[in-house]
């Protein structure tokens, strides 16, 4: 099969430090400097922030969700309003998830066959059918730069037979997604499954590698397994993935997980953690996490961090705590901005460290600093 990498998508590796990679992922809506973190805009918006503020954090690529946008407002409405870029006001690259994780999270209401999944809408209980072809149809209507193939995610730990069946099905579904593609301006990323079985992960990566996708994701992690187990699977999987394609670790995670992924060769990340935790009064900093509802911050005149965005830095910890205690919406907005900016600063620092071939020292410095945060 002819590679689609000659389309408007290309990964360019600039530098390496150990296994950590510094590169650029070129897309029709502009380049993405990697390693990169993508804020999650599930329903066409990054919760709590106007799209210009998301840009101010330094983000270059955001994520939307096929399942949610197909239900509300509907992919055809998004298409009529100019596609997801014009709809949301985001001018840079956008990646859309396939809906596979929703099949996993709604598993009690889902029936999965070789054709696809049938489950109930979380909004009104209506029946929804999601096949590989339907997932791509929705994502092409949304007009994202990167469309994820539909995969079969299972909880971990699980029976070996269940994991193997889901892995094989994910490979077959990936091929069907590839066959369903009609847009040259949209790249598909395959998703490596296989649970916590290293051999199964390698098998899945090799099988998907034969299909020559423009990018590869590592999925089915951060679903209940301890972090060291995830790192072990990354150790086994990343070396098997094509070196000339971007590698994306889906749904991860904590700042330390991002650095653990980078030092194993991962290029792209996404997670709701910085936004969700921001809405719940938790701030990420170089000194670890701050839980702003704690009484010790009531009269704390310091900013969240000296490196916080100016909009956040002008307010004291005591004031931001007050906003949360008074249930003022500004509190979640400010900490969402803080956390997304922090994640972008972390990625920028990692990129510079790789360029200067000192990533391991950067990793150690950050990990040591984070040990001092609020428990």
99 a known binding residue? yes
Query: Residue 262, SS3?
Result: helix
Query: Does the CA dihedral 40-42-48-49 come out positive or negative?
Result: positive
Residue 330 CB neighbour total at 10 angstroms: 14
**Euclidean distance between CA atoms 260 and 258, whole angstroms:** 5
Q: Are 104 and 135 in contact (CB under 8 A)?
A: no
Residues in the chain: 375
**Beta-ladder partners of 111:** 118
Catalytic residue among 97, 257, 267, 286: 97
- CA–chain centroid gap for 83, Å, is 21
Supply 228's token pair.
């060291």
220 a known binding residue? yes
**What angle is formed at CA 355 by the lines to CA 258 and CA 230, rounded to 5 degrees?**
20
- CA–chain centroid gap for 71, Å, is 21
193 a known binding residue? yes
DSSP conformational letter for 248: E
Catalytic residue among 235, 270, 300, 357: 270
Place of tokens 């290309």: 10
97 is catalytic: yes
**Euclidean distance between CA atoms 307 and 177, whole angstroms:** 43
98 a known binding residue? yes
Residues annotated as catalytic (active site), given as ranges: 97, 270
Residue ranges at the known binding site: 97-101, 151, 193, 220
Known binding-site residue numbers for substrate: 97-101, 151, 193, 220
């Amino acid at each position: 099969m002819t590679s689609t990498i000659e389309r408007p998508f290309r990964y360019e590796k600039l530098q390496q430090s150990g296994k950590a990679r510094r590169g650029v992922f070129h897309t029709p809506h502009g380049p993405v400097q990697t390693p990169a973190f993508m804020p999650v805009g599930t329903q066409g918006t990054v919760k709590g922030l106007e799209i210009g503020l998301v840009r101010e954090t330094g983000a270059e690529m955001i994520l939307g969700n096929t399942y949610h946008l197909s239900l509300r407002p509907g992919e055809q409405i998004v298409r009529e309003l100019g596609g997801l870029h014009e709809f949301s006001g985001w001018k840079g690259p956008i990646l859309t998830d396939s809906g596979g994780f929703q099949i996993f999270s709604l598993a009690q209401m889902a029936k999965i066959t070789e054709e696809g999944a049938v489950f109930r809408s979380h909004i009104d209980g209506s029946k929804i059918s999601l096949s590989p072809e339907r997932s791509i149809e929705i994502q092409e209507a949304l007009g994202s730069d990167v469309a994820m193939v539909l995969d079969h995610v299972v909880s971990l730990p699980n029976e070996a037979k269940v994991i193997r069946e889901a892995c094989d099905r994910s490979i077959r579904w990936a091929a069907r997604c590839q066959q369903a593609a009609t847009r040259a301006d949209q790249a598909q990323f395959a998703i490596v499954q296989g649970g916590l079985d290293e051999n199964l992960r390698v098998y899945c990566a090799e099988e998907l590698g034969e299909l020559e996708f423009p990018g590869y994701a590592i999925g089915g992690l951060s679903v209940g397994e301890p972090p060291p187990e995830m790192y072990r699977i990354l150790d086994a999987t990343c070396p098997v993935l094509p070196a000339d394609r971007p590698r994306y670790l889906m749904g991860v995670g904590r700042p330390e997980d991002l650095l653990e992924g980078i030092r194993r060769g991962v290029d792209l990340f996404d997670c709701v953690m910085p936004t969700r935790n921001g809405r719940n009064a938790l701030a990420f900093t170089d000194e670890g996490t701050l839980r702003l509802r704690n009484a010790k911050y009531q009269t704390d005149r310091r900013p969240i961090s000296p490196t916080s965005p100016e909009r956040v830095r002008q307010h004291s910890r005591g004031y931001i705590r007050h906003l949360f205690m008074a249930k003022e919406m500004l509190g979640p907005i400010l900490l969402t901005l803080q956390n997304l900016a922090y994640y972008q600063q972390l990625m920028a620092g990692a990129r510079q460290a790789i360029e200067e071939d000192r990533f391991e020292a950067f990793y150690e410095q950050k990990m040591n600093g984070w040990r001092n945060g609020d428990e």
